[in-house]
Structure 1
């Protein structure tokens, strides 16, 4: 494993860092209060190619491997997590399915606009009856001639209000269980497709989550993504390979929290000295730094494995578990280090603390990751 980034990635990484620090950070409180990403920021993000990170150059994207994407995600994670999530959901689960599983006609039709950011992608698996138990879908797809009729409701769908293209999982044969689930590419303008009300959240302001409702929604046969009946397997692949990217975004947030904490503990004085001189505080920032470095090494190891085409089911689950738990511990320590200021909404620490909590839930809860890990361990030791 070589942890040195290629020159083009180093160049992109620096540009993204400068953009995040000078442009996105300047509007972070606006994003938090208005619950939306300013159009100017989105347009600048498109111009930088940030919507095309996962899409091959042949279709207008940057065609970056997982190590390179993680390098950029780490920079993107150092700002408001609502912005981070909009970009990450689009470049991750929102587009990777079409890149990895789409046929040539589907790629030519959808990827160029997704790469430019002209259209936004989303991933629709979760339902009221299907969260951790992802096979318990109630959304159905019935074939009628040259199209399928989709019926059902998905909820908590990230990017729902902004997205133009949805990767939707639906049951095509209930008798086959998980092998009767199929993936579809669904456009927001398809007949009888509707986005429901925005769901208010504890954090991730600026990243809109909502229901999507399909009542005899007509989806052309040519919009089946992959093979009929392999939708659940496809969903697992999309989620698994994306976990390194999610960890990298967590890593960027953790590093930002450490940076803010170190600045604070060297400026803030109590009992006549900067609080870094007090052992309790020194130990907290030391523990933050150790966990961040461990997460950094783990993230890029799994990203390297993905680029090498290695099987990463266990490692990706470990990384998702560890990355989200580290983020929550680091955010908690950052609040403690900052004291009362860390609890005030006018400062970023409180925001990161709230935003961190969802990482232990979305794209597979910590408990589900432990189930995946133990399942893989049983196979290895049997």
Structure 2
């Protein structure tokens, strides 16, 4: 059995790597530090659009390549490898994919072509305060109003909310969950910018009695399963991003220790340094295997809750360990802001926090296995 990438997967990966590695430079990334500029490279976004990569997982009838979630995850991994200033996960994974999966024909025709060609941005609001379960919103509610809805509530840490044309979010409607596409410019919507450690534009979203027309209702009353579908793919995409960032930080460290000399020899020849770097390599490869396992099952539309949870645990722990080891082996250079490693460490820590507490996830996974509800494949 061939466990390698298909030809189309290699093509997507190579094309993404070529464009992102050439266009995302240390000098360009420095422009966004300390919020000196909006962390969104629109020229690079246009290049990805021209190359067809924004539509990699969007059906051909809507202007996309027609590939699957695995190819999209490979694109996200390359974005993590360069920590590219792009909203790939929020736009493509958390918003465009759900529209393709759950929207009606008119909604698909209205939103997917523009998402594939970069005409506008989409995003998703998946987090509420002190509540991480996207499929069961507690702070957001909806009431029927004619053939539409009036929604009120709040969401936290919404990426690119102000720049987006629509924000996908879930609200509680009666006993069910409804998924809508909210216009951030609608009357009653308030966006408050918040600062994040990795400088990505994020917002606290509040909405009070905001009218949502029927044409912007994605799933009515039965949206819990849809939100679970979205949350799993979004988490897997963050794991892919974490894989790219961790792999790059590990390779930067290997290169540095091979060149940095002490007592007249490269420090990579020191046993303690070699062991630490080898542990990083093993960690990254374990994260790669678990992430690809989760992504491949999701790509095949198979049940993957356990695999996503395992990948999520690995992503949090590996990001933590690789970040610390990379900084340690770099010595003072590891925290020097004139050297690029600190940006990777910041993103590794950010992704770890987004994915949630690994210890809690491990305890939950253990309980599920003990109850006979979760088994590794």
TM-score, with structure 2 as normaliser: 0.91
SS state at 1:5 partner:
coil
Q: Is 1:125–1:154's contact at 8 Å kept on the other side of the alignment?
A: yes
Match of 1:342 in 2: 334
Q: 1:181 aligns with which of 177, 193, 218?
A: 177
Q: 1:6 to 1:189 in 2, by over 3 A?
A: same
Gaps of 5+ in 1: none
Q: Is 2:181–2:216's contact at 8 Å kept on the other side of the alignment?
A: yes
> Partners of 1:60 and 1:331 in 2: how far apart?
39
Q: Is 1:129–1:137's contact at 8 Å kept on the other side of the alignment?
A: no
Q: 1:249 to 1:136 in 2, by over 3 A?
A: closer
Q: Deviations over 1:41-70 (max 9, x none)?
A: 222232223332332222122222222223
Q: 1:381 to 1:14 in 2, by over 3 A?
A: closer
Q: Deviations over 1:286-328 (max 9, x none)?
A: 1111111122222222222222332101111111111222122
Do structure 1's residue 199 and structure 2's residue 228 form an aligned pair? Answer: no
Q: 1:354 aligns with which of 336, 346, 352?
A: 346
Do structure 1's residue 91 and structure 2's residue 92 form an aligned pair? Answer: yes
SS state at 1:362 partner:
helix
Gaps of 5+ in 2: none
Match of 1:223 in 2: 216
1:78-227 correspondence runs (5 A): 78-80=81-83, 83=85, 86-128=87-129, 130-131=131-132, 135=136, 137-173=138-174, 176=175, 180-194=176-190, 196-202=191-197, 204-205=198-199, 207-226=200-219
Q: Which moved more, 1:63-72 or 1:268-277?
A: 63-72
> Partners of 1:125 and 1:38 in 2: how far apart?
24
Query: C-alpha root-mean-square deviation of aligned residues, in Å?
Result: 2.2
> Partners of 1:60 and 1:130 in 2: how far apart?
37
Q: 1:319 to 1:129 in 2, by over 3 A?
A: closer
Q: Is 1:257–1:331's contact at 8 Å kept on the other side of the alignment?
A: yes
Q: Which moved more, 1:351-360 or 1:260-269?
A: 351-360
Q: Deviations over 1:85-112 (max 9, x none)?
A: x212211112222122112221111111
1:361-380 correspondence runs (5 A): 361-367=353-359, 369-370=361-362, 372-374=364-366, 376-380=368-372
Q: Is 2:49–2:117's contact at 8 Å kept on the other side of the alignment?
A: yes
Task: Tell me the CA shift for residue 193 of structure 1.
Answer: 2.8
Task: Tell me the CA shift for residue 73 of structure 1.
Answer: 2.2
Q: 1:46 aligns with which of 39, 42, 49?
A: 49
SS state at 1:94 partner:
helix
Match of 2:279 in 1: 287
1:232-243 correspondence runs (5 A): 232-243=224-235
SS state at 2:205 partner:
strand
Match of 1:60 in 2: 63
Q: Is 1:126–1:154's contact at 8 Å kept on the other side of the alignment?
A: yes
